[in-house]
């Protein structure tokens, strides 16, 4: 006579297989994946997150990311299992034992591995294995790298100079400022970057980010919304500023200003896991805002865990003349507008 547990197991497997077939649970995957990526799927084989293991990302980091990206996953309500297949086909049934998050806290997460997020009964094949994973509805705006040249607009130029005078070195690499601006047509060695992009002033206002700035200087200098305060700026190496402003690199002020590289892009991998060079000796009005830095980190987690397709707004064109063609979608058109506005140092929603 068949044991009741085996009968229940056989029934649940049959039911789940039929349910998946009936409801069409086809796998979904993010585009442009690499061998250095680690991936998360739910019980229906939908990819719910992925990022690149650049060398320093631990399970403790990932648990913080889960609290940001998956607001419905309360601690103690789910387990994470490593999939037993290189490319998961049925992660609900084919997975290893649940990971011990306390023991794995300081261990590096493995690259090129797949993990499935299941309910508390995930170590058995039962109907309670599947847990719905809700991805945050927060969608950061389009990211456009700034120009590496000193701006002409007086508001941006005041910001540019204030950040350079305060930091004196790249906060990521430690490269020191030793270049004087002799010709405004040449790129600067170090670039003053906004932490929160000024072209997203509407998003800044909606999220009330100005309340995180304690700078009391003249609104004619920092703007009425304070978005051009040096508290919203950092000095970054010419080789790294694009990666920072497009959220491929970020800084977590809650973990000792640890630098995380979410997407390696040429020269940026060597700063991963280092501590940012944040000037803490300057006056309160000039000091970088930890809250704005952490917001940058939060948005970087969301952008890179949920796919960058809607964030990298300006496509790579071999010839700018192609911009006049019919190959631009709505996101690309908006991105081109923001790109031109930023390169011309024009604030689309003027803050004056």
pLDDT tens digits for range 228-280: 999 999 999 888 988 999 999 999 999 999 999 998 866 556 898 999 999 98
CA distance 318 to 17: 48
pTM above 0.85, yes or no: no
pLDDT for 50 equals 92
| Three-state SS at 257 | coil
At 302, the pLDDT band (50, 70, 90 cuts) reads: very high
Q: Put residue 95 in one of left, alpha, beta given phi > 0 → left and psi -120 to 50 → alpha.
A: beta
* H or E, element range at 5: helix 4-23
Distance CA 8, CA 13 (A): 9
- Residues 6+ away with beta carbon under 8 Å from 182: none
Describe the crossing of helices 59-69 and 290-305 by its angle, rounded to 10 degrees: 90
Closest to 261 measured CA to CA, from 252, 248, 277:
248
What count of residues does the chain have? 352
Phi, psi at 302, each rounded to 5°: -65, -45
Q: What is the pLDDT of residue 146?
A: 76
pLDDT of residue 284: 77
Give residue 322's pLDDT: 52
Q: Quote the longest CA-to-CA distance of the chain.
A: 89
Contact 150, 235 (CB under 8 A): no
Q: What is the pLDDT of residue 209?
A: 95
| CA contacts within 13 A on the Cβ side of 191 | 20
Nearest Cα to Cα of residue 296 among 247, 237, 236, 238: 247
Q: Where in the chain is the domain with CATH 3.10.20.90?
A: 4-118
Q: Which residues contact 321 (CB under 8 A, 6 or more apart)?
A: none
Q: What is the mean pLDDT of the chain?
A: 79
- Residue 304 scores a pLDDT above 80: yes
At 1, is the pLDDT very low, low, confident or very high (cuts 50, 70, 90)? very low
Q: 178, 199, 174, 173: which is closest to 188 by C-alpha? A: 178
Architecture of domain 4-118: Roll (3.10)
Cα(29)–Cα(242) distance, rounded to whole angstroms? 26
Beta-strand ranges (E) seen in 246-322 are: 249-252, 258-261
- pLDDT band at residue 175 under the 50/70/90 scheme: confident
Q: Dihedrals φ, ψ of 159, to 5°?
A: -65, -50
């Amino acid at each position: 006579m068949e044991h009741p547990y085996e009968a229940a197991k056989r029934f649940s497997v049959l039911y789940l297989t039929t349910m998946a077939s009936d409801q069409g649970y086809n796998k979904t995957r993010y585009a442009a994946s690499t061998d250095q990526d680690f991936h998360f799927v739910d019980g229906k084989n939908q990819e719910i997150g992925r990022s690149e293991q650049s060398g320093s990302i631990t399970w403790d980091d990932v648990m913080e990311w889960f609290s940001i990206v998956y607001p419905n996953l309360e601690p103690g309500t789910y387990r994470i299992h490593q999939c037993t297949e290189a490319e998961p086909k049925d992660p609900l049934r084919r997975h290893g034992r649940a990971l011990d998050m306390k023991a794995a806290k300081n261990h590096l997460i493995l690259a090129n591995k797949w993990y499935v997020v299941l309910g508390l009964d995930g170590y058995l094949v039962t109907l309670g294995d599947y847990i719905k994973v809700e991805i945050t509805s927060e969608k950061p705006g389009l990211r456009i790298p700034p120009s590496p040249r000193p701006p002409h607009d007086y508001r941006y130029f005041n910001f540019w100079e204030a950040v350079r005078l305060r930091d004196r070195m790249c906060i990521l690499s430690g490269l020191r400022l030793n270049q004087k601006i002799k010709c405004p047509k040449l790129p600067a060695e170090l670039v003053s970057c906004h932490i929160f992009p000024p072209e997203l002033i509407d998003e800044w206002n909606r999220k009330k980010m100005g309340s995180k700035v304690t700078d009391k200087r003249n609104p004619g200098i920092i703007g009425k919304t304070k978005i051009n305060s040096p508290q919203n700026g950092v000095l970054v190496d010419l080789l790294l500023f694009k990666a920072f402003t497009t959220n491929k690199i970020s800084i977590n002020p809650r973990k000792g200003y640890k630098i995380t590289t979410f997407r390696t892009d040429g020269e940026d991998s060597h700063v991963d896991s280092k501590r940012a060079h944040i000037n803490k000796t300057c006056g309160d009005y000039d000091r970088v805002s930890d809250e704005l830095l952490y917001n940058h980190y939060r948005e970087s987690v969301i952008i890179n865990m949920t796919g960058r397709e809607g964030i990298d707004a300006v496509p790579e064109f071999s010839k700018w003349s192609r911009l006049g063609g019919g190959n631009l979608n709505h996101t690309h058109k908006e991105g081109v507008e923001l790109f031109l506005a930023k390169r011309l140092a024009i604030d689309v929603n003027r803050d004056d």
